[in-house]
């Protein structure tokens, strides 16, 4: 485990070396941004709307009391979405979608000697392959989380009003009352670190693949497991530090 951590740090050191040609790196970064951000929008959107709707119903079920105003349902759903559900669930889903893809892409390049070809040419292979993915991850995942928060809250409105658990007016008042903008900062900090974890861990797993296509598959599976655990640990640490 310590050996792996040491190699991960050394890989990151190589990743952040000065690029040979920024122009080519920018092209790769924009390509990765489309892949990580735009291409994940649909999945994150669907998940966020349903999570928001289900959360509203469950909060309404647990807060069935004449002493508690219905607007609380909106407030709780909003804060849950901002602080936990949107960043963490999005990150866990993206660890599966993007993480396994990055790991298998880089792993395949390793076993087919494409990484060796880069090194022979004198190119900093970790920087060329991994840096664009990390930059795209730490910029696009926070943006996806913002979209997710919005859709989560909209999903809560649809679910709550459709089922009759809460009126539209109560829900709207709930989500607008007592809003603390710092929760958005916490959410974006989480998203930034989750983006870094997903892209760097998956790249590390792929970069050090040895053997054949079978190993690429195994690395892909390990990526999802390690990324998910790392995301949950980071979630706890960031929450503890910031709240």
Partner 1 sequence: MIEIKDIHKSFGDNYVLKGISGKFEAGMNNLIIGGSGSGKTTLLKCMVGLHEPDEGYVLYDGRDFTRLTKDERIDIRKEIGMLFQNSALFDSMTVQENVMFALNMFTKQSKEEKLERVNFCLNRVNLEGKNDLYPSELSGGMKKRVGIARAISMQPKYLFVDEPNSGLDPLTSIVIDELIDEITNEYNITTVVVTHDMNSVMGIGENILFLAEGKKEWEGSNKEIAHTDNQRVNDFVFASKFAQAAKEKL
Q: Which residues bind partner 1 (CB under 8 A)?
A: 20-21, 24, 108-109, 112-114, 116-117, 119-123
Of residues 74 and 132, the one with the C-beta less far from partner 1: 132
The CB-of-120 to partner 1 minimum distance in angstroms stands at: 5
Rounded distance between C-alpha atoms, residue 157 and residue 161, angstroms: 6
The CB-of-109 to partner 1 minimum distance in angstroms stands at: 8
Phi/psi of residue 66, nearest 5 degrees: -70, -20
> What is the 3-state composition of the chain as percent helix, strand, coil, each rounded to the nearest 5?
85, 0, 15
Phi/psi of residue 17, nearest 5 degrees: -75, 160
The CB-of-20 to partner 1 minimum distance in angstroms stands at: 5
The CB-of-29 to partner 1 minimum distance in angstroms stands at: 15
Of residues 113 and 177, the one with the C-beta less far from partner 1: 113
Phi/psi of residue 111, nearest 5 degrees: -75, -20
Of residues 23 and 67, the one with the C-beta less far from partner 1: 23
Q: Are 197 and 92 spatial neighbours (Cβ–Cβ below 8 Å)?
A: no
CA proximity to 85, closest of 179, 41, 148, 174: 148
Of residues 62 and 114, the one with the C-beta less far from partner 1: 114
């Amino acid at each position: 485990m310590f050996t792996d951590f040491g190699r991960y740090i050394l890989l990151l050191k190589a990743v952040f070396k000065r690029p040979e040609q920024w122009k080519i790196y920018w092209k790769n970064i924009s390509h990765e941004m489309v892949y990580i951000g735009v291409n994940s929008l649909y999945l994150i959107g669907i998940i966020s709307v349903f999570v928001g709707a289900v959360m509203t119903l469950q909060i309404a079920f647990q807060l069935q009391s004449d002493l508690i105003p219905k607007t609380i349902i909106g407030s709780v759903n909003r804060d849950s979405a901002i602080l936990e559900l949107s960043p963490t669930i999005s990150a866990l889903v993206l660890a599966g979608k993007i993480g396994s893809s990055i790991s298998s892409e880089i792993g395949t390049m390793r076993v087919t000697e494409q990484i060796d070809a880069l090194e022979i040419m004198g190119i900093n292979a970790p920087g060329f392959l991994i840096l664009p993915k990390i930059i795209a991850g730490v910029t696009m995942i926070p943006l996806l989380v913002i979209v997710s928060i919005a859709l989560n809250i909209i999903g809560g409105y649809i679910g709550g009003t459709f089922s009759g658990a809460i009126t539209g007016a109560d829900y709207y008042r709930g989500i607008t009352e007592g809003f603390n903008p710092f929760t958005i900062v916490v959410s974006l900090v989480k998203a930034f670190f989750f983006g870094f974890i997903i892209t760097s861990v998956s790249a590390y797993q792929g970069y050090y693949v040895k053997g054949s296509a079978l190993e690429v598959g195994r690395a892909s599976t390990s990526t999802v497991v390690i990324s998910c655990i790392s995301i949950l640990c980071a979630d706890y640490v960031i929450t503890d530090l910031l709240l």
